[in-house]
Structure 1
Amino acid sequence: MAAANSTTTANTAQDIQPVFNRVQQTGTHDCIFACVAMIAGKSLEEVMSIAISDLKHPRHGPFWPLVEEEIATLLAKFSLVGSVYKQITKGIVDIPAVAIVIVDYNEESELGRHAVFIRDSSNMKAVKEYIIDPASWISTDLHVRNDFKNIGPAWYIGVHPMAKPTAAK
């Protein structure tokens, strides 16, 4: 089934071995940090430590959502580049190969939670698209999921490695 027309409503991703290790969020406010930790290959504690020291994120609340500039700054600490938030209008075909997506989005409050989207094209005959969900309250069979209709990704931040500087000649 084409990505743009994906109507998957049942999670069938249990056999997928994700390209990133899942990092579970510890509260209701740290999903973005868990997503950065997954993509950067770091622990949640390492990412939170940098957010607290470098971005002046509060250690013990009150908490507020990070804006996209802060997310980009945090990603850059791990040699990653993050785009601005972009709305998903055509379906998952809009989303780049690695992205932090906002799921369970509520248009009225303009709030949702973050998860990691992956389009694994390592086998072009069997491209795998799935979400790694950091939520602590979900069942184990939903940690890696491809039931996009049930989770409703609405916005994304594309993520890719920083270009390595070229050597001076």
Structure 2
Amino acid sequence: MALKLVTQANLTDCGLACVAIVAGKSLEAVLRVAIKECGYPKDGPHTTTDESLFKLLDHFGIKYGKKQKVKTVEALPPVAIMETRKMPSTGNSHLVVFERTPEGDEHALDPGWWLKQQIRSDWNRIKLDTFIPIYLPEPAAKTGKNKTTEQTTATEAGEPSASPAPAEKPKQTKSKASSKKPAAHTATSNEQEAVAKDVQGDALQDAATLVQSEATTHAPAASEDGKADSTPAQESGDVA
């Protein structure tokens, strides 16, 4: 994450501005802590010593390393509070923040308000002297990515995934199945009833035919005048 430039308010608070840059705080917030915990005068000067600088970094939870000489810009850590050579006129040094971005861009964030360009890389003019390594926490990864990584790791290890199991398909209720069964039984009963009626009708018809046939067979033959002929039929061979 890129650091945000903080500009100093007077000639002596460049150290406070550098703490504000690496801590992600305002200059006013750092000054309040310096007055309360480091004995800084409210109205200045606000010159920062190594002891007060370390105390401020500790207060804001910023980890740092041992102060050492600058050899080359390429050998510097990704973030550092750097001290320039002391100016002969005042005997004071000027503090800036060095930053190397993930893309490899190297520059100094200079809190001096008198500069036209406060993000600098003119190393021959800055005249670096010493630096204090600053170890900032790594930015937290996104939650969704972490969950994906954990699930992938669990799958590779043969462990069950933490994701919820897919919901089972709802089973067909008995009411739905029952609604179809009565229809089938009704159809079968209707068919059986129809068959029974047909059989009964055929039986009645056959009985009626049989009765009529018997009546016709046993009924005496009617004469021409409508009376029954009771004369016995002649047997074969008889002479009239």
- Structure 1 and Structure 2 fold alike (TM over 0.5): yes
SS at match of 2:94: strand
- Normalised by the length of structure 2, the TM-score is 0.52
CA distance in 2, matches of 1:162, 1:38: 14
Cα separation, 1, equivalents of 2:21 and 2:60: 11
Cα distance change, pair 60–156 in 1 and its aligned pair in 2 (3 A): same
Q: Give the residue type in structure 1 aligned to 2:7.
A: Q
2:129 to 121, 136, 154: 154
SS of match in other structure, 2:124: helix
Question: 1:1-169 to 2 correspondence within 5 Å?
Answer: 19-61=2-44, 63=45, 65-88=47-70, 90-106=71-87, 111-120=92-101, 122-123=102-103, 127-139=104-116, 142-161=117-136
Root-mean-square deviation (CA, aligned residues, Å) is 2.3
Task: Report the more deviating stretch, 103-112 or 77-86.
Answer: 103-112
The 3-state SS of whatever aligns with 1:105 is: coil
SS at 1:35 equivalent? helix
What amino acid is the match of 1:86? Q
The Cα of 1:64 is off from its aligned counterpart by 6.3
| CA distance 1:162–1:144, change in 2 (3 Å) | closer
Question: What is the alpha-carbon distance in structure 2 between the residues aligned to residue 162 and residue 76 of structure 1?
Answer: 14
Q: 1:105 to 1:92 in 2, by over 3 A?
A: farther
Greater Rg by CA: 2
TM-aligned CA distance change 1:77 to 1:143, over 3 Å: same
Q: How far apart, in 2, do the equivalents of 1:28 and 1:79 lie? A: 26
Q: Residues 16 and 31 of structure 2 are in contact (CA less than 8 Å); yes or no, is this contact kept in structure 1? A: yes
- Percent identity over the alignment? 28
Gapped runs of 5+ residues in structure 1? 1-17, 164-169
- TM-score, normalisation: structure 1: 0.73
More relative contact order in 1 or in 2 (CA 8 Å, sep 6+)? 1
**One-letter code aligned to 2:83:** I
Q: How many residues align?
A: 138
Task: Kindly state the Cα deviation for residue 81 of structure 1 after the two structures are TM-superposed.
Answer: 1.8
Equivalent residue letter for 1:74: L
What is the rounded CA distance, in whole Å, between the counterparts of 2:64 and 2:52 in structure 1? 10
Q: CA deviation at 1:162?
A: 7.1
The structure carrying a bigger strand percent of its residues is: 1
User: Aligned letter for 1:148?
Assistant: W
1:73 is displaced (CA, Å) by: 1.2
The answer on whether the counterparts of 1:68 and 1:85 sit within 8 Å (CA) in structure 2 is: no
